[in-house]
Chains A and B, each alone.
Chain A
């Protein structure tokens, strides 16, 4: 092997390394929501979340299969998939967005950053532009993203018939807790 090829190889390897460092993939994550009323608690959590986060460009994308939301009552879970989310037609819920004013933040340094993410929230096949507040923390071990926001069922054309006995709230309180690490091949 001559020096030229060696250099080229080294360069290639180096490039690879840098690119991979920009993109963070999810290490563990949860999406939970509360759609209950004082009469009935309707809450669920999905821990099977897929997400990527580009710390340089500020792009964030995440999704989860609706079928992964676990409820405390089996029948409620069935109704969630069958009647509200129509999971056979629309299997995934997702969010794609970009952190606003990304130049002001360097997430590779330790610290806590309050950011706004502008993007599209796709639930029940209906996409809705959203601006979501989030707190991003780098504690040296990884990057943590936390956010709480409200989803209006009407925004995503999820019907809430009056005859239904399960008292479902119009506003769904949603929380995200996601931890990321640099994606390793």
Chain B
């Protein structure tokens, strides 16, 4: 008797497994729909035949990632937490002019111009690489250099299944100084500069975002012994969107004392107006920095705020994106 009972169990089991096998198709689809609806709520409402209440019971169980914390890959001088999209090439032109204090004589500094142009490319959604070249004429403050960098998104701000209050990107760049200012700088190792930043950002609302940038810079060779090889600096930046396409951006860096030679400034600031026109991002800005790469604007800034207009320069950033590789999902 026991034997027969066992057999019937096996038959029952086999039958059950077959039924579930037949239903796999619908089961898969169900699970996808189940991520979109609250099944328990729908089950309790289905007999009421009320469309409105059924639709109101739908909710998506997923993680929403913050997007466009900043419009561009640059704040103004500094890097933002953002990269460019996958398969996207970005071309950037940046200008910083001479100080605005001489008025119409040199047209508020426009006669002297520092320039950086660069290319950034998004390898994945998280990893962006870039190269750039800086130079300029009119004054020795515009240094010539080549730079290369990579920026990796480590954390993304999100809500939903995963609650993450901040986004974090790691930025690392190497620059080679190419000006022939000092004899000491003629060997390649003496011309190298390394900048590393942790960029910690939060989009507080669709219009307000902020980020903090703890920064470490290593210079292989400095001017003298009071100008240290390793410098630590802390930056902060914020964006407030006035309309969908216009915003105000500001950034500030403070380099901790006893690291820079007395001729260099510990405070670097920039304030600007941001315009985004679908593919282009423009920044029109005022800053006391000459350089557009980290070791230049943090470690090599000779314009103290006390000098008033003599320390302020006008500048702009202009970027355009091109889709090189398209992805279909």
Chain A residues with CB under 8 Å of chain B are 15-16, 19-20, 22-23, 25-28, 48-50, 52, 54, 57, 59-61, 63, 65, 67, 70, 72-75, 78-79, 81-83, 86, 88-89, 94, 96, 159, 161, 163-166, 181, 183, 185
Contact = CB atoms under 8 A, between A and B. Distances in A.
B33 interface: yes
Contacts of B276: 83
Contacts of B321: 75
B277 A165 contact: yes
9 contacts: A15-B47, A23-B54, A50-B33, A57-B49, A74-B86, A74-B87, A75-B323, A164-B278, A166-B279
Given A94-B55, A96-B51, A48 B46 contact: no
Given A52-B55, A183-B46, A165 B278 contact: yes
Interface in B44-82: 46-47, 49, 51-52, 54-55, 58, 60, 64, 67-68
B191 interface: no
B42 to A, nearest CB: 8
A72 B85 contact: no
A179 to B, nearest CB: 9
Interface residues of B, number: 42
A146 B51 CA distance: 20
B280 interface: yes
Contact of B85 (A48, A63, A75): A75
B125 interface: yes
B46 A70 contact: no
A112 B87 CA distance: 44
B46 A23 contact: yes
Contacts of B155: none
A57 B54 CA distance: 15
B51 A61 contact: yes
Nearest to B43: A185
Contact of A19 (B49, B85, B88, B279): B49
A27 B32 CA distance: 9
A161 B278 CA distance: 10
A74 B90 CA distance: 13
Contact of A50 (B37, B43, B46, B122): B37
A76 to B, nearest CB: 8
Given A74-B87, A83-B278, A89-B206, 16 more contacts: A22-B49, A48-B35, A48-B60, A50-B55, A52-B51, A61-B54, A74-B86, A75-B321, A78-B67, A81-B67, A83-B245, A83-B276, A165-B278, A165-B279, A185-B43, A185-B46
B183 interface: no
Of the listed residues A15, A60, A70, A82, the one surrounded by the most CB atoms of chain B closer than 10 A to its CB is: A82
B278 A19 contact: no
Interface in B215-238: none
Interface of B: 26, 29, 32-33, 35-37, 42-43, 46-47, 49, 51-52, 54-55, 58, 60, 64, 67-68, 84-88, 122, 125, 206, 244-245, 276-280, 321, 323, 326-329
A156 B28 CA distance: 36
Contact of B47 (A20, A26, A54, A74): A20
Given A75-B88, A165-B278, A185-B43, A61 B55 contact: yes
A50 B36 contact: yes
B277 A19 contact: no
A19 B206 contact: no
A43 B329 CA distance: 12
Of the listed residues B43, B46, B87, the one surrounded by the most CB atoms of chain A closer than 10 A to its CB is: B46
Contacts of B245: 83, 161
Contacts of B46: 19-20, 23, 183, 185
Nearest to A179: B29
Contacts of A20: 46-47
B88 A74 contact: yes
Contacts of B49: 19, 22-23, 54, 57
Nearest to A98: B51
Contacts of B329: 70
A52 B56 CA distance: 11
Of the listed residues A26, A48, A73, the one surrounded by the most CB atoms of chain B closer than 10 A to its CB is: A73
Contacts of A165: 277-280
B65 to A, nearest CB: 9
B55 A78 contact: no
Contacts of A26: 33
B241 to A, nearest CB: 10
* Leading 3 A-B pairs by shortest Cβ distance: A74-B85, A164-B278, A166-B278
A51 B51 CA distance: 10
A82 B209 CA distance: 14
